[in-house]
Amino acid sequence: MTDLDNERDDLDGHTIDELSDYLDRGRTPLDPSIEGSAGCRIALGSLERLRQISKSLVEVDAAAEAPRSDDWLGGILESIGREARAGRDIPLLPPSPRATLSVTEGAVRGLIRAAGDRSGGLIIGRCRLDGDVTVPGTPITVSIDASVFWGERIVETVDRARETIYSALLKHTELTIASIDITVHDVYFAQVNDQEPDDAGDGSASNEGDVL
């Protein structure tokens, strides 16, 4: 099975490229196979937020700097498609002993990505839930890869994202969160400065492996 086949399975027969084209058309004409898919709706929400954030990113002056690779964007798009799949069922406390309630892992990952994007100053790259989410009370570690915008204080930005994500998980799930580990891999320019910093490099600063 190819990566494209896996992506179609994750998004109920659709791909990230197809969803991106659907957004380009303003979600018209309405496609029931997309709008009726929970995975597709999660991916669409992530794509819309990513587009809004990307509008603020600018290329560093090509005459002074080497062109910046867009691999980071491709990586985020791949993560959105992969993380939108249903995954494991996460149990919720039912209102009745005869009822069974659960939320999909994909929905929780979408919740985490939305909360991180909403916190401001960074872009969520990849999100993973480590631990057995199917067993209530099991300690779960949320592992996140992220990029921050130039000019943001990394520690403060990460702390703000962590608090926002934790609040969202506390409100919408019954997971036992052991920790939320956010690893910052890159720094990107979010606005044009009158004077470029001497240490701007290629427009990104790698902090891979440093969990803040």
DSSP per residue, 73-138 = HHHHHHHHHHHTS--SEEEE--SSTT--EEEEHHHHHHHHHHHHHHHSSEEEEEEEEES-TTSTT-
Q: What is the pTM of this model?
A: 0.64
- Residue 206 maps to a domain: no
- Residue 196 maps to a domain: no
pLDDT tens-digit series, residues 122-142? 888 888 999 999 999 999 999
Residues counted in the chain? 212
pLDDT tens-digit series, residues 36-94? 887 788 888 878 877 776 665 544 334 334 445 555 556 666 666 665 566 888 888 87
- Residue 74 maps to a domain: yes
- Sequence-distant (6+) residues with CB within 8 A of 193 are none
Q: How many domains does the chain have?
A: 1
Domain that holds residue 104: 3-188
**Three-state secondary-structure class, residue 144:** strand
- Residue 147 maps to a domain: yes
CA dihedral 48, 181, 177, 158 (to 10 degrees): -60
pLDDT confidence of residue 107 = 84
Distance, C-alpha 67 to centroid of its chain: 25
